[in-house]
Amino acid sequence: MKVSAVVNAVGGEAGRRGSDMGVCVVGPGTRFLSGITYYTYSLANALADSCRVSVIFMQRLLPRSLYPGRAHVGAALTDLNLASSVQAYDGVDWFWIPSLARALRFLKRRRPDVVVFQWWTGTVLHTYLVLALVARLLRVRVVIEFHETLDTGEERIAWAARYVRALAPFFFSLAHVYVAHSRFECEALEERYGLDREAIDVIPHATYGHYDRGKKWRDAPSEACNLLYLGVIRPFKGVEDLIRAFDSLPADEIDDYWLTVLGETWEGCTEPSELIERSRYRHRITFVNRYVTDDEVDAAFGGADVVVLPYLRSSQSGPLHIAMHYGLPVVTTAVGGLVESVSDYGGAILTAPGDPVALAAAISQARELRGRRFPDPHGWAATASAMQRTFDRARTR
């Protein structure tokens, strides 16, 4: 039998490297815009430099009325684009009909060597399970990349958590290799889902440079240290601790600071906005309570002096990886995978979660770093190279 026939018989899993390797990335599109959308686009574009890449987007994650960020669904907030060589199907609807059949035809037509699923929420589980089953029938290798064990909002909904516990093991069992962004996440995956540690590759989360367009915006006076929090406002984000820490700064020093909070309130987490309105330093706070556009993100980071991320828990953080690309000093809590994410970043100051006093002290320390810029530790080229090693490993399992 000719070599080419052998390759075709096993679905192209042998002898394919570099531009000969076909990769399909599966993740959320821009309709339900989130940090994982940006990751999906960024990964596809990074791999396109060395692989034949296609993308299957999840277009509607769930009925809009159930989505905590329903106010911005479908809004024109981003100008994300895929590389010209990347083919995409946009995308699969939560209700499936007729989009799932079209996605399966797209997958069969593209016939990649590897499919990479972006995992963070149970809303995609039923669709991912079908796509993974079909991929295995096509003899395509399956890789699952984890950003969360499960979304924190879904964790608090008993029936949603039970649904994932019941069905997710079937989906996870279809993977040849898993990807996590930290050793912390590996331990969480072992504990929650019983995944084999030897089957998990750790690839650090790359930073986000696509926002960087040279814009700059700040309400803060030029002489003040502009502290920036950016991200959705949810119970685990700890924004209330940031407001309390800001309020605890000495009155004779407050002219040295300004606080900018940009984020959309989710899950009824109104305490931060209420604390802002009652703050004794309300005149030193800019609060934009909505999901901001890419240009606004760039301008906000361009005008920031220190980024503050006071999370109570977190596997990874998109705003952290934006801040590191901009080289800004960062104050963040020592939770989850963030400790490893900043381990080789010179501008990070770690503090205890849920402690406004310690956070205020860290903010004072970070003010001394104002004006300094630090090297970006994690580029997408390194991520693409590491992912290709994972694909090679998947083909041998």
* Residues pairing with 142 in the sheet: 115
Confidence tier at 397 by pLDDT (50, 70, 90):
confident
pLDDT score of 353: 98
Confidence tier at 18 by pLDDT (50, 70, 90):
low
| Angle between helical axes of 380-396 and 35-47 (0-180°, round to 10) | 80
Q: What is the token pair recorded at 279?
A: 């703050």
Burial class (CB in 10 A: 0-12, 13-18, 19+), 166: exposed
Q: List, in order, residues 6 or more apart from 78 with CB less than 8 Å away.
A: 30, 33, 37, 38, 293, 294
CATH class of 3-206+380-396: alpha beta
Positive or negative torsion for Cα 191, 193, 198, 203: negative
Q: What is the mean pLDDT of the chain?
A: 93
pLDDT score of 14: 37
pLDDT score of 20: 82
Q: Whose structure tokens read 């290709």?
A: 388
Average pLDDT over residues 236-252: 97
253-280, pLDDT tens digit by residue? 999 999 999 999 999 999 999 999 999 9
For residue 10, pLDDT beyond 70: no
Q: What is the token pair recorded at 32?
A: 């339900």
67-95, pLDDT tens digit by residue? 888 989 999 999 999 999 999 999 999 99
Average pLDDT over residues 29-45: 96
159-180, pLDDT tens digit by residue? 999 999 999 999 999 999 999 9
How far apart CA 40 and CA 92 sit, in angstroms, is 15
Is the model more confident about 157 or about 7?
A: 157
CATH number of 225-367: 3.40.50.2000
pLDDT score of 144: 98
How far apart CA 206 and CA 341 sit, in angstroms, is 9
How far apart CA 369 and CA 330 sit, in angstroms, is 9
Start and end residues for every CATH 3.40.50.2000 domain found in the chain = 3-206+380-396, 225-367
Average pLDDT over residues 319-330: 97
Confidence tier at 4 by pLDDT (50, 70, 90):
very low
For residue 7, pLDDT beyond 70: no
3-state helix, strand, coil in the chain (%, to 5): 40, 20, 40
116-157, pLDDT tens digit by residue? 999 999 999 999 999 999 999 999 999 999 999 999 889 889
Average pLDDT over residues 285-304: 97
Q: What is the token pair recorded at 68?
A: 């905590």
